Amino acid sequence: MASIERTFASDHPAAEGHFPGNPIIPGAVLLSTLLDAIRCELGVSLSPCRIKAAKFYSPVRPGDSVIVEFTGTASGDVRFECAVSGRKVLAGQVECSAVPENP
Q: pLDDT, tens digit, for every residue of 11-45?
A: 999 988 888 889 999 999 999 999 999 888 888 88
Q: Name the residue ranges covered by the structural domains of the chain.
A: 2-100
CA distances from 1 to 9, 55, 70 (A): 26, 19, 6
pTM of the model: 0.87
Task: Give CATH superfamily name and number for 2-100.
Answer: Hotdog Thioesterase (3.10.129.10)
**Known catalytic residues?**
18
pLDDT in tens, 47-100: 788 999 999 999 999 999 999 999 988 777 899 999 999 999 999 999 987 655
Alpha-carbon distances of 17 from 9, 20, 21, rounded to whole Å: 15, 5, 9
